[in-house]
Structure 1
């Protein structure tokens, strides 16, 4: 019988205990759905953009002060192009709050900026699993799939994002001549 090192048992036990300390993230699903409905009715891109900013207020509302501090620090590091530092913070956030979608979305964004599309994709999938209407994660998934040159999947993901927010700036990728234009219109 193979023996498991004591340090490994402690790591697993402490990780499980740490994750249990994170409270449930605030449920903003009704608010998000309401804003998405408003975006879909927006008269122009500028109005839709103002509404989209409200979505970020909901998505970045972390479960508690500790999680919020780590999320904010990671986003600040990402904005300063300290991508490895940002990933380190998002790793901590995900370890502490594994059911908080924005931790995965933000880590995916940092991976995306590093052009590590293979690492970004599972995080985006997890963010979408936890928050199915996360327009930014869905459009990020489309861009990541484009980076992986998985064009049909990227086109599908972008169309899914555009169903939620038809004003996304990424919509130009589907226009004739764009990299995700339907086959035959991509020239």
Structure 2
């Protein structure tokens, strides 16, 4: 059945009306943000971060999950073109699912198409304003576009939600998004 749903989804955007509304995961994520912020060590922080990913990667239905999984497999195999096609299909089918936009943005980022990545990240954040991965991805994208002040502000917002992000290192003194104006 899952294969039939995925094949129907691959047929095109005519099935967009069939995607259910993504579940409201705001209270679940709020609890995970609190866990991350209150974590006493890396192990606890990493557990909260991993749990956030489990929430974001929970697609609205089996067909969407199959396409998301296929896109992730393509990405992990460095088949960025195939991954981009899969995530575009996912967005066509479930335009209100933030992770579809975030994943396609990541592929655009990896392809160094920062303008396309930024557009998709902005949409992901419209749908889920505290999506930490989209926030940090947007910060990295802005940094690569040379928009350092905006990148710093975006990365600070991401780290405020999850202080255990590896990208937090970019905010350290002397790092690309580190403090400015304190030099001699």
With the length of structure 1 as denominator, give the TM-score of the two structures: 0.88
Structure number with larger C-alpha Rg: 1
Q: Deviations over 1:104-159 (max 9, x none)?
A: 00000111111111110011111111011110110010001111111000000000
Aligned to 1:137: 134
Task: Quote the offset at 1:15 in angstroms.
Answer: 7.0
* Counterpart contact for 2:12–2:89, Cα < 8 Å: no
- Structure 1 residues 185, 144: closer, same or farther in 2, change over 3 A? farther
Give me the CA root mean square deviation. Answer: 1.7
Aligned to 1:45: 42
Whose RCO is larger (CA < 8 A, sep 6+)? 2
Unmatched runs of 5 consecutive residues or more in structure 2: 1-10
* Counterpart contact for 1:176–1:185, Cα < 8 Å: no
Aligned to 2:3: none
Unmatched runs of 5 consecutive residues or more in structure 1: 1-13
Aligned residues: 174
Aligned to 1:168: 165
Task: Give matches, 1:33-182, under 5 Å.
Answer: 33-182=30-179
Task: Quote the offset at 1:22 in angstroms.
Answer: 0.7
- Structure 1 residues 186, 46: closer, same or farther in 2, change over 3 A? farther
Counterpart-to-counterpart distance in 2, 1:16 and 1:75: 20
* Counterpart contact for 2:49–2:164, Cα < 8 Å: no
* Counterpart contact for 1:71–1:89, Cα < 8 Å: yes
Task: Quote the offset at 1:46 in angstroms.
Answer: 2.5
3-state SS of paired residue (1:33): helix
Counterpart-to-counterpart distance in 2, 1:49 and 1:185: 32
* Counterpart contact for 1:177–1:186, Cα < 8 Å: no
Counterpart-to-counterpart distance in 2, 1:67 and 1:102: 11
